[in-house]
Structure formats: C-alpha cells, structure tokens
C-alpha cells in the first residue's frame, strides 16, 4: 500500500519550552484507519495542527503523497487544506451562521454556486440527519449537533484524507456511535482516516491501528499494550 502521509524527524515546541513532539517519525498508509491516542496534553492536537499547516514544525518534514507540505506557498496551503476533511475538537463553526451556511462554506470556497451548491449541501446534511434543520443557527445547537455539523462540513468534498480530533468527546453513547459509523463509512470508501481520542472504550468498540503519543514520541501500539502503559 502506498504511503499517504509521512512524518520524518518531526519536532515541535511552543514558546521555546520542552518539545511537545520530539523527533517523531511515522508513515500512514493510504486507505488506513488510525487512532491517535495519548493522555490530555500529549500532543494529539499538535499533530493535526502540523498536518493542517496551522503550525510549522521546528524540525523535520511532513509529506503528503510524496510532496513536502512544509514548503508550500500560502495559495498552495489553501489547496492542501481543501483536500482534507477536518473535524476540530472545538468544532470551529461560524456561530452566527446557519447549519446550511456552515456546511456550504468549503463548497463555496471551491467555487460551487447556486443549485449545485444547495444540492451538495443538502446531501451532506442528510448524511448526518440535519437536513430538516438546515436553516437553524449554529449558536443554538447542542455540542453533539455542532459535532455533526462539523462532520458534514468536513465530508463536503468526499475527502481522501480525514482527520477528527476527539469527535465523540461531547457526545452521548448513541450519538458517538452514529458519528463513528459515519467515519467508518468514509473509511470503507477508501479514505485515509486518523481519529484522535483518549477514549479507550471507543478504540475497543471500533478497532483499528493505534498510534500512541507518550513522552513526546509516537509509537504504534496494540490495545492491550496501550492499556498496560496507562
């Protein structure tokens, strides 16, 4: 299987303090499903921020399909982000806008207009069961509903790469199950998926390859190993 994402010698620290990630290397194969786990503050979100080019590594390279993304121009960075579906831990939705407007945003950015835009947006909303409520403002939604909107937005382009940072963090069991099913369907369609979570019950329920961040290093572990290492 081809390597989709390659991290080589990645180091990242904040404000000159002890690094969050120290000389991390990892290869993510195309079409694979990975959990990214670790205790709170281990660096899971930092990994996503680096992959999304929100942060730059202090050292090391990040390759997507063989191309080093740390050297992209601002215009190329925008294109890079468009090919990734990203669900953020804090949703990152426009609170004053409606559900429909939030989900339509990446489509609009890519040039969709008029009936085509509306059709695609409604399709995404139907996947998450929010089509009937599309005109409601995001500010009035619960955490779980916001997470669904965030997922619908991330799925807008049927991305080949999908990242989710604690997608079930604020959800009840039923909603969490629904969200994971959506993500697993995406994976079945050939998408490369990385889900960050510290919820071991989730990993147990929906088994997949697991990467553990511990002591600023990244290791692939089996679930039993992970439990033992606490």
Identify which of residues 79 and 205 has a Cβ nearer to other proteins in the complex. Answer: 79
Identify which of residues 70 and 201 has a Cβ nearer to other proteins in the complex. Answer: 70
Rounded to an integer, what distance in angstroms lies between the CA atom of residue 68 and that of residue 93?
Answer: 29
Identify which of residues 138 and 182 has a Cβ nearer to other proteins in the complex. Answer: 138
Identify which of residues 155 and 212 has a Cβ nearer to other proteins in the complex. Answer: 155
Residue 81 CB, nearest approach to other proteins (Å):
4
Phi, psi of 229 (to 5 degrees): -80, -5
Residue 78 CB, nearest approach to other proteins (Å):
5
Residue 55 CB, nearest approach to other proteins (Å):
5
Residue 177 CB, nearest approach to other proteins (Å):
27
Coil, strand or helix: which one is 195? strand
Identify which of residues 103 and 202 has a Cβ nearer to other proteins in the complex. Answer: 103
Residue 56 CB, nearest approach to other proteins (Å):
4
Rounded to an integer, what distance in angstroms lies between the CA atom of residue 157 and that of residue 155?
Answer: 6
Residue 174 CB, nearest approach to other proteins (Å):
28
Residue 106 CB, nearest approach to other proteins (Å):
4
Tell the residue number behind the tokens 């089509």, with chain if given: 131
Identify which of residues 137 and 184 has a Cβ nearer to other proteins in the complex. Answer: 137
Angle subtended at Cα 210 by Cα 216 and Cα 48, rounded to the nearest 5 degrees: 55
Coil, strand or helix: which one is 149? helix
Identify which of residues 109 and 205 has a Cβ nearer to other proteins in the complex. Answer: 109
Rounded to an integer, what distance in angstroms lies between the CA atom of residue 89 and that of residue 73?
Answer: 26
Q: Which residues bind other proteins (CB under 8 A)?
A: 52-56, 74-75, 77-82, 86, 88, 92-94, 96-97, 105-106, 108-111, 113, 153
Contacts of 14-22 with C-beta under 8 Å, sequence gap 24+, read 18/216, 19/58, 19/216, 20/46, 20/216, 21/46, 21/47, 21/50, 21/57, 21/213, 21/216, 21/218, 22/216, 22/217
What would the 3-class secondary structure string for 209-227 be? EEEEEECCEEEEECHHHHH
């Amino acid at each position: 299987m081809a390597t989709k994402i390659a991290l080589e010698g990645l180091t990242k620290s904040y404000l000159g303090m002890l690094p969050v990630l120290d000389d991390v290397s990892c290869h993510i194969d195309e079409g694979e499903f990975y959990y990214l786990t670790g205790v709170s503050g281990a660096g899971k979100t930092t990994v996503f921020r680096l992959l999304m080019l929100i942060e730059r590594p202090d050292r090391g390279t990040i390759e997507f399909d063989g191309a080093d993304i740390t050297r992209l121009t601002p215009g190329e960075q925008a294109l890079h982000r468009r090919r990734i579906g990203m669900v953020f831990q804090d949703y990152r939705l426009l609170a004053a806008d409606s559900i429909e407007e939030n989900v339509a945003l990446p489509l609009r950015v890519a040039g969709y207009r008029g009936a085509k835009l509306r059709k695609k947006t409604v399709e995404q909303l139907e996947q998450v069961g929010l089509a009937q409520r599309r005109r409601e403002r995001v500010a009035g939604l619960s955490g779980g509903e916001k997470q669904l909107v965030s997922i619908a937005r991330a799925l807008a382009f049927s991305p080949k790469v999908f990242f989710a940072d604690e997608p079930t963090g604020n959800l009840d069991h039923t909603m969490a199950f629904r969200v994971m099913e959506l993500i697993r369907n995406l994976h079945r369609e050939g998408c490369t998926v990385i889900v960050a979570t510290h919820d071991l019950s989730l990993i147990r329920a929906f088994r997949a390859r697991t990467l553990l961040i511990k002591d600023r290093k990244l290791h692939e572990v089996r679930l039993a190993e992970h439990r033992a290492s606490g």
